[in-house]
């Protein structure tokens, strides 16, 4: 359970940031965290209400039934979600990545071109990095670049401080 929560809390924001438009990206990322908090609060409320049910065999069934509908909705929506354009490009599917980017931003041609340009920059960076590292990917090369190291440390420290704030224990 804990591995799944950790995976979801790191992968979902990355996916949201990669497929959303720049003008709504911040709102969507904030909404993600707000919905997580809302879900935790809702689960506690349902558990509290279920504890007053007299029929002992209905308690766990009632709690389970409230979680089934959102889970099923998420599962079926997940089947129709596109792959992340960056993930596609990172896995040597550049044409598909560009096609998905164009589909995601099909209503705004200027934004579509900007995102495709960003994707092409990423593809070029990935190719240069592959040449520089001799075809392999090494995580340790990130520690040589001071800017990348600062970003990694900042991300780690933010995660540590969030956990030390005990927000999960409060919820």
Render pLDDT for 100-118 as a digit per residue (tens, 0 to 9).
888 888 888 888 888 888 8
Rounded Cα distance between 20 and 18, Å, is 6
Q: Is 9 inside any structural domain?
A: yes
Smallest CA-to-CA distance from 12 within 34, 27, 33 is with 33
Q: Is 62 inside any structural domain?
A: yes
pLDDT for residue 1 is more than 60: no
Q: Is 39 inside any structural domain?
A: yes
Q: Is 55 inside any structural domain?
A: yes
Tens of pLDDT, residues 65-110:
888 888 899 899 989 988 888 888 878 888 888 888 888 888 888 8
Count: domains in the chain: 1
* Three-state DSSP class for residue 136: coil
Q: Is 12 inside any structural domain?
A: yes
Question: How long is the chain?
Answer: 171
| Confidence band, pLDDT 50/70/90 cuts, at residue 154 | very high
| Confidence band, pLDDT 50/70/90 cuts, at residue 148 | confident
Mean pLDDT score of the chain: 81
pLDDT for residue 135 is more than 70: no
Q: Is 3 inside any structural domain?
A: yes
- What pLDDT score does 76 carry? 93
Range of the domain at 11: 1-80
Smallest CA-to-CA distance from 122 within 161, 93, 151, 160 is with 93
pLDDT for residue 2 is more than 60: no
Report the percent of the chain where pLDDT is more than 70.
87
> pTM for the full model?
0.66
Q: Is 125 inside any structural domain?
A: no
Tens of pLDDT, residues 13-37:
888 888 888 888 889 988 988 888 8
Distances (CA, A) of 168 to 11, 71, 81, 164, 165: 19, 21, 29, 10, 8
Rounded Cα distance between 64 and 101, Å, is 38
Q: Which residues have C-beta within 8 Å of that of residue 32, sequence separation ≥ 6?
A: 12, 13, 16
Q: Is 40 inside any structural domain?
A: yes
Q: Which residues have C-beta within 8 Å of that of residue 96, sequence separation ≥ 6?
A: 83, 88
pLDDT for residue 141 is more than 70: no
Other Cβ atoms less than 10 A from the Cβ of 21: the count is: 14
């Amino acid at each position: 359970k804990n591995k799944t929560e950790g995976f979801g809390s790191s992968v979902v924001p990355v996916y949201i940031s990669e497929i959303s438009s720049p003008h709504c990206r911040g709102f969507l990322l904030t909404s993600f965290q707000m919905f997580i908090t809302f879900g935790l609060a809702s689960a506690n409320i349902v558990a509290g209400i279920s504890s007053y049910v007299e029929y002992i065999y209905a308690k766990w069934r009632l709690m389970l039934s409230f979680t089934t509908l959102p889970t099923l909705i998420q599962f079926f929506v997940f089947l129709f979600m596109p792959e992340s354009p960056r993930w596609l490009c990172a896995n040597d599917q550049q044409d598909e990545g560009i096609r998905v980017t164009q589909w995601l931003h099909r209503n705004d041609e200027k934004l579509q071109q900007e995102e495709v340009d960003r994707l092409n920059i990423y593809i070029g960076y990935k190719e240069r990095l592959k040449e520089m590292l001799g075809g392999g990917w090494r995580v340790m090369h990130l520690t040589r670049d001071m800017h990348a190291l600062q970003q990694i440390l900042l991300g780690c420290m933010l995660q540590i401080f969030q956990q030390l704030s005990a927000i999960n224990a409060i919820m």
